[in-house]
Amino acid sequence: MRTETPNTIYLKDYTPPTWLVDTVDLHVAIHQGHAEVRARLACRRNPQGAGGTLVLNGEALALQAVSLDGDALAPARYTVADDTLSIMGEDAGPLPDAFLLETVVRIEPDSNTQLSGLYRSKDGYFSQCEAQGFRRITFFPDRPDVMARFTCTIEAERERFPQLLSNGNRVASGTCEHDASRHWARWEDPFPKPAYLFALVAASLDMLEDEFVTRSGRTVRLAVYVEPGKLDQCGHAMAALKKAMRWDEERFGLEMDLDHYMIAAVSDFNMGAMENKGLNIFNTKYVLARPDTATDGDYQAIDRVVAHEYFHNWTGNRVTCRDWFQLSLKEGLTVFRDQEFGADTHSRAVTRIQEVRALRVGQFPEDAGPMAHPVRPASYAEINNFYTATVYNKGAEVVRMIHTLIGREAFRQGMDLYFQRHDGQAVTCEDFVAAMQDAAGVDLTQFRRWYARAGTPRLKAEGAWDAASRRYTLTLTQSLAATAYEQRLADAGMPIVEGPLHFPVALGLVLPDGTDAPLRLAGETAPQGTTRVLSLTAATQTFVFEDIPAAPVASLLRDFSAPVQLDFEQTDAELAHLMAHDTDAFNRWEAGQRLATRVLLAGIAAGGEGDAWIPADFVAACGRVLDAGLTDAPALTAEALVLPAEQVLAEAMAGRGEIIDPEAIHRARVNLRRHLATQLRERFEAVWTALAPSEPYAPDGAQVGRRALRNLCLGYLAESDDATLRAAVLPRLLAQSGQRGNMTDVIAALATLANLDLPERETALAAFHAHWQGEALVVDKWLQVQATSRLPGTVARVRELMQHPAFDLKNPNKVYALVRSFCAANPRHFHAADGSGYALAADVIIELQAINPQVASRLARSFDRWRQFDAVRQGHARAALDRIRACENLAKDVAEVVGNALK
């Protein structure tokens, strides 16, 4: 047995590069079975650096030749060891201040299953260089603060690989002199960039072309490349790109800087997409869509990911990260930007609700678990493990808090200043905050703690209204307990950042008549609006509001103004009042969620059986929401009637120091759904009927909301008793899952059917597969609805599907659809008391870590919360984790995750 102890890298050890690279001239020749990469680097001593040996990174490269200023290097002048190539001066003397270094290496893209570096996918060769994939293509100082101008010549067989693409502009192309069946193309990127933004594609792809005229009147050629035959599925991505380009001009004054912008879609891809300069590479999941193949959710995800990658052109590419600890500098900010784009183009409230839900399901547990880390971690073993919900989503919340604290206008000025100061540079999170601070004239010194602290803060609120003085007094107390991260710091003898955080608390006071009270703080002469943003900086702070005419119901953290857990004792009646009247749509939803959580936690404590624990008031409140469903925005009504997720309920239990009981959680949640279905049956029926589609499918806001609510009603109706189900609901589910017009409705019905223990379930699933087996992304949905089924036997079913010809362990989308859905979105079966879910996960992780460590490591994160369960489950989880850890040559990625889990 060999257990690798991953080497830890520390932020505090950062030093500037000793050598800079001004230009890179690459020549990539793709042959049958291998590729040859020739690289010519113009190296220059960094005046800010320490000097000495030039150390280049390189992984899985077979070095063929190395020369300096045209002369082959004597063996004494270089060494290849530990994934580096070191170049020394003559006779152990110094290297010249500037020189040309040329290397020739061979790589094997066909056997590259990690999908990092250059790899083979079915229609050709694709690259993925973030974070450290470029070193798997050629020897290079592979760090983001080394920025170079790239030229890339690609050469390959013309017939099989008609498209040869790289960053920037194609400046020349032709037929190979020595072999007329081969062709080449040369690309030049005018902008210096770090190596992680390099991209290369050599493939057979179809292209959708368009153009965009920027506000300064330049015409940008746009192209979306997809696998042959899929041109009818890229219109939406192209439209999204143009929308994003316009939006960034209007909202942030940012214009496209290249003449040519390409998106290439590939079906084997570790993540969502990659912002390579001028040549984004996308997972097909975020490009391809047609009404019959993609859901409303898919359409919106495409909008967001296309926008995200496009926005990176400024926040990430023009201004990039000094080192990988600064990852959130580009990711948090770019997620914030894509969120705002989503809010401006769809419903702001629905967008916000969905983001907060994702934060609670994905980020809060991370912050409470063994991999907890701040938005800017102080150390890592494997950087790929830090593309996390914390860096992305909490990072976006941190940027949003700055926006809320300083206001929209000052934020825009801060962005302008950031680009003015740092265009073309590789910078740190401090640089970003400093630009915001300087533009706004607000002191953000204390705010910086958000970048250094892990964990979800708790905000305790106490409010009291005094009839005699007509004053409302609000006391806010914040706390943040140490997490596993602070423990890791302490173990390494590193300092822990302490003290209260600085955050905005947006609030309103809702009066008994449902209106918002005008808010005047003690000491002010006049009220200033009905929503106030309080700036909380101390551990405890008291705010006094004057002239409040009646006992108000406080609406705190409007629009979720800070990523914290709120402890605020409000009665059921108060929450119902907010549900009905809060002018802040997010908090109307939130009040409903808090009420539902309270009801469910009481039910869980009672074992979750039956429905005696369900208060009639709660049912009535849901009934009122449903009644307003057709007049209010249907999308918001649908969100309001989604009960808190099982994972959120689990975290609520863990937060109270209780042992998570996944069975009771599941039971209580299903029983509450059944109860609502029975009690509100007529109303679900009425809304379902009223929302029948009357126009052809379009993924626009109004239709999306109507479909969401209608399918929500159908889902509840399917919770009816057996007789009603068979007579009144099943026929509808079968008809809807069998139609081939829009995938949103089909998959809603199929996912519901997948929970029903009826022969019709199997027939419907089989028919769906038979129709869609040629469409990979639709097959993923088929895997997913089965992996997330409630039915007993789901673990066995997932194992069975892993043997199905549709499944492929080498394809991340397949693993995500089947295995990650099971582990992350089916908590009750993943945490099965007999350990079968954990054993399944461990089996997959062990096999996959040798193939694709990044994806295996993401799966391993499913074990994060294992210590919050009972002793029997903990025993099974520990056995599974031990089994993974004992794996021979365990990938560093997985070793870090499992090591932390077992600490």
Active site positions, annotated: 309
Q: Shortest Cβ contact with ligand TRP: which residue?
A: 271
How far is the C-alpha of 186 from the C-alpha of 169, rounded, in Å? 8
For helices 585-605 and 572-581, what crossing angle results, to 10°?
150
- Which listed option, ligand TRP, Zn ion, none, makes contact with residue 593 (CB within 5 to 8 Å by class)? none
Smaller CB separation from ligand TRP, 127 or 347: 127
Which residues lie across from 851 on neighbouring strands? Answer: none
Q: How many Cα neighbours within 13 Å face the side chain of 501?
A: 26
For ligand TRP, the binding residues in 329-348 under the rule CB under 6 A are 331
Cα separations (Å) of 722 from 69, 201, 487, 671?
81, 54, 52, 14
Q: Does 270 bind ligand TRP (CB under 6 A)?
A: yes
- The smaller minimum CB distance to ligand TRP, of residues 155 and 275, is found at 275
Name the minimum Å distance from CB 658 to ligand TRP. 36
| Cβ 395 to Zn ion shortest distance, Å | 10
Name the minimum Å distance from CB 422 to Zn ion: 18
Restricted to residues 326-345, the positions that interact with Zn ion (CB under 5 A) are: 331, 334
Q: Hey, what are 258's tokens?
A: 């290249």
* Phi and psi, residue 507, nearest 5°: -145, 160
Closest CA to 852 of 117, 143, 123: 117
* Residue number, 256 or 778, with CB nearest to Zn ion: 256
CA angle in degrees (0–180, nearest 5) for 527-535-542? 75
Query: CA-based diameter of the chain, in Å?
Result: 96
Query: What one-character-per-residue DSSP string does 423-468 give?
Result: TT-EE-HHHHHHHHHHHHT---TGGGGGGT--S--EEEEEEEEETT
- Comparing CB distances to Zn ion, the nearer of 233 and 317 is 317
User: Distance between CA 649 and CA 357 in Å, rounded?
Assistant: 12
317 or 720, CB closer to ligand TRP?
317
CB of 308 to ligand TRP, least distance (A): 6
Q: How far apart are CA 157 and CA 169, in angstroms?
A: 21
For residue 553, the one-letter residue type is: V
Smallest gap from Cβ 314 to Zn ion, in A, equals 12
Of 275 and 584, CB closest to Zn ion = 275
Q: Which is nearer to ligand TRP, 576 or 891 (CB)?
A: 891
Reading the block at residue 255, the tokens are 């214009």
- Single-letter code of the amino acid located at 98: A
Q: Interaction with ligand TRP in 271-310: which residues (CB under 6 A)?
A: 271, 273-275, 308-309
DSSP class per residue in 807-828: --TT-HHHHIIIIIHHHHH-HH
Q: Min. distance of Cβ 359 from ligand TRP in angstroms?
A: 17
What would the x/- binding string for ligand TRP be over residues 312 to 331, using CB under 6 A? -------------------x
Question: Pairing state of beta strands 426-427 and 565-568?
Answer: unpaired
CB of 320 to Zn ion, least distance (A): 12
Return the SS3 of 529: coil
| Residue 321 or 643 with smaller CB distance to ligand TRP | 321
Site mask for ligand TRP (CB under 6 A), range 384-403, x = bound = ---x----------------
- With a CB cutoff of 8 Å and minimum separation 6, the contacts of 93 are none
Peptide bond into 522 cis (omega under 30): no
Shortest Å distance, C-beta 330 to Zn ion: 6
Phi, psi for residue 509 in degrees, rounded to 5? -120, 115
Query: Which of Zn ion, ligand TRP, none interacts with 868 (beta carbon under 5 to 8 A by kind)?
Result: none
**Nearest residue (CB) to ligand TRP, 363 versus 788:** 363
Q: Does 893 bind ligand TRP (CB under 6 A)?
A: no
Report in angstroms how near the CB of residue 270 gets to ligand TRP at its nearest. Answer: 4
Tokens read off for 756: 């029903």
Q: Segment contacting ligand TRP (CB under 6 A): 266-274, 415-423, 553-561, 618-626?
A: 266-274
661: partner contacted, choices ligand TRP, Zn ion, none (Cβ within 5-8 A by kind): none
Shortest Cβ distance from residue 267 to ligand TRP (Å)? 13
> What is the contact mask toward ligand TRP in residues 109 to 128, using x (rule: CB under 6 A)?
-------------------x
Structure tokens at 811: 């394809």
To ligand TRP, the closest distance from the beta carbon of 779 in angstroms equals 21
Residue 717 CA to residue 641 CA, distance in Å, equals 13
Interface with ligand TRP (CB under 6 A), residue total 12
Amino acid at 165: L
Output the 3-class SS for 545-607.
EECCCCCCEEEECCCCCCCCEEEECCCHHHHHHHHHHCCCHHHHHHHHHHHHHHHHHHHHHCC
> Based on CB atoms, which residue is closest to ligand TRP, 265 or 665?
265
CB 784 within 8 A of CB 815: no
Site map 766..805 versus ligand TRP, x via CB under 6 A: ----------------------------------------
Contacts of 663 (CB under 8 A, 6+ apart): 608, 828, 833
Could you say which of Zn ion, ligand TRP, none residue 270 binds, taking C-beta under 5 to 8 angstroms by partner kind?
A: ligand TRP
By a kind-dependent CB cut-off of 5 to 8 A, residue 274 interacts, out of Zn ion, ligand TRP, none, with: ligand TRP
Concatenate the DSSP letters of all residues of 134-185 into one string. Answer: GGGTS-B--STT-EEEEEEEEEEETTT--EEEESSEEEEEEE-SS-TTEEEE
Q: In this structure, what DSSP letter does residue 371 have?
A: T
Strand intervals (E) in 180-339? 182-188, 193-194, 200-203, 206-213, 219-226, 260-266, 273-274, 279-283, 320-321
| Of 299 and 386, CB closest to ligand TRP | 386
CB of 891 to ligand TRP, least distance (A): 15
The beta-carbon contacts of 361-366 under 8 Å, at least 24 apart in sequence, are: 361/645, 361/647, 361/648, 362/389, 362/393, 363/389, 363/390, 363/393, 363/394, 363/563, 364/456, 364/565, 364/651, 365/647, 365/650, 365/651, 365/864, 365/865, 366/390, 366/861, 366/864
Residue 271 touches which of Zn ion, ligand TRP, none (CB < 5 to 8 A by kind)? ligand TRP
Query: Whose Cβ is closer to ligand TRP: residue 101's or residue 274's?
Result: 274
Question: Any contact of residue 130 with ligand TRP (CB under 6 A)?
Answer: yes
CB under 6 A: which stretch of 269-277, 355-363, 635-643, 756-764 binds ligand TRP?
269-277
Report how far residue 520's alpha carbon sits from residue 85's, in angstroms, rounded to the nearest whole number.
Answer: 66
Task: Compute φ and ψ for 798, nearest 5 degrees.
Answer: -65, -40
**Rule CB under 6 A: is residue 263 a binding residue for ligand TRP?**
no
Contact positions toward Zn ion, by CB under 5 A? 331, 334
Residues forming contacts to ligand TRP in the complex (CB under 6 A) are: 128, 130-131, 270-271, 273-275, 308-309, 331, 387
